[in-house]
């Protein structure tokens, strides 16, 4: 089993486009926080200065992309130090209706910044150690693109499709952007210590083996003892190493994962709440409802009605 694929599929990773831009100096926009979304900005032409409230800033050139995994507030500008207007205010001021190019300013088109901007969302209530471990941002650069040429090719295709304006372009860019997210995530495993720890867990013969067992059969009658036996470790050593690499204990991980699977299964109207409970390891709908409401603040029946 591909654990990463199961995680992203269960958490409901979906790409969506905001807009493509034509910004002429001076311009500066504050993008608001959105915890359940991972925003991205791909520079096709010109340059873009990106600044975070933490004080970290970077400059993007053509071909560069910044991904903001947890939707942190950030400012996009033609240069540092400009006072930024809120995104919603900018959209209202220029009368942008969600179609075509978002244009700001009437300066020299040759000096403009053109970008493709979008976001990735996760299912409401989505949670996993992987999401918690994501850094404030990922950014590509010329060195990375030279080392990983397939990323450069994907980004070139995203830009080409978006600016071609042909039928199906938006759908193509949306799917391609999801690939970009996954590829950047894979690269991030080598660049971030928290992600490195998860990668070690996923690929470890024993801890990864236990994860595959839980992901393949979340309703299984698992315990720390049974999982440790399955992967050939002592109970104490297994629990200690699992917690060190994942950041939480095996049973807590399993409980949380069962509830994430339940969120996904509840979207299937063909399944009753009782069937969802059974498929996620709960002995009765009542026990499932208590656990679900305790985590998400509403029983599964109400959650389903809200979809």
**56 and 93: one domain?**
yes
Range of the domain at 213: 204-306
Average pLDDT over residues 99-112: 77
Q: How many angstroms separate the CA atoms of 16 and 19, rounded?
A: 10
Averaged pLDDT of the chain: 91
Burial 44-67 (b: 16+ CB within 10 A, else e): bbbebbbbeeeeeeeebebbbbbb
pTM: 0.87
More confident of the two residues 167 and 267: 267
Whether 3 shows a pLDDT value over 80: the answer reads yes
Whether 102 shows a pLDDT value over 70: the answer reads yes
Average pLDDT over residues 272-291: 96
CATH number where 128 lies: 2.60.120.10
Average pLDDT over residues 271-297: 96
Average pLDDT over residues 12-30: 89
Q: Quick: pLDDT tens for 262-273.
A: 999 999 999 999
Final residue belonging to a domain, choices 136, 161, 192: 192
Let me know if residue 199 belongs to a domain: no
**248 and 157: one domain?**
no
Let me know if residue 33 belongs to a domain: yes
pLDDT on residue 109: 67
Q: For residue 180, what are the CA distances in angstroms to 184, 188, 195, 205?
A: 6, 12, 17, 28
Average pLDDT over residues 229-245: 97
More confident of the two residues 165 and 14: 14
Average pLDDT over residues 282-299: 96
Say how many domains are in the chain.
2
pLDDT on residue 65: 92
Q: Quick: pLDDT tens for 184-236.
A: 888 888 778 999 999 999 999 999 999 999 999 999 999 999 999 999 999 99
Let me know if residue 294 belongs to a domain: yes
149 pLDDT tier (thresholds 50, 70, 90) = confident
């Amino acid at each position: 089993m591909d654990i990463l694929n199961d995680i992203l599929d269960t958490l409901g990773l979906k790409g969506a486009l905001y807009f493509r831009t034509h910004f002429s100096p001076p311009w500066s926009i504050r993008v608001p926080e959105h915890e359940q979304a991972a925003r991205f900005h791909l520079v096709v032409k010109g340059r873009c200065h990106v600044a975070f409230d933490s004080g970290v800033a970077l400059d993007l050139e053509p071909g560069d992309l910044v991904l903001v995994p947890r939707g942190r507030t950030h400012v996009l500008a033609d240069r540092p130090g400009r006072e930024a207007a809120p995104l919603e205010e900018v959209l209202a001021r220029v009368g942008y209706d969600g179609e075509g190019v978002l244009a700001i300013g009437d300066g020299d088109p040759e000096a403009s910044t053109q970008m493709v901007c979008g976001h990735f969302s996760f299912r409401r209530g989505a949670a996993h150690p992987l999401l918690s471990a994501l850094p404030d941002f990922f950014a590509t650069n010329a060195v990375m693109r030279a080392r990983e040429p397939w990323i450069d090719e994907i980004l070139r295709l995203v830009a080409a499709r978006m600016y071609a304006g042909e039928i199906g372009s938006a759908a193509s860019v949306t799917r391609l952007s999801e690939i970009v997210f996954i590829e950047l995530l894979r690269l991030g495993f080598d660049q971030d210590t928290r992600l490195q720890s998860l990668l070690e867990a996923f690929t470890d013969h024993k801890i990864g083996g236990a994860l595959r067992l839980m992901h393949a059969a979340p309703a299984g009658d698992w315990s720390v003892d049974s999982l440790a036996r399955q992967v050939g470790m002592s109970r104490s050593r297994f629990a200690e190493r699992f917690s060190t690499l994942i950041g939480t204990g095996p049973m807590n991980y399993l409980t949380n994962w069962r509830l994430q699977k339940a969120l996904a299964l509840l979207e299937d109207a063909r399944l009753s709440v009782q069937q969802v409970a059974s498929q996620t390891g709960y002995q009765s709908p009542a026990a499932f409802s208590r656990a679900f409401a305790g985590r998400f603040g509403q029983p599964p029946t109400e959650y389903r009605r809200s979809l």
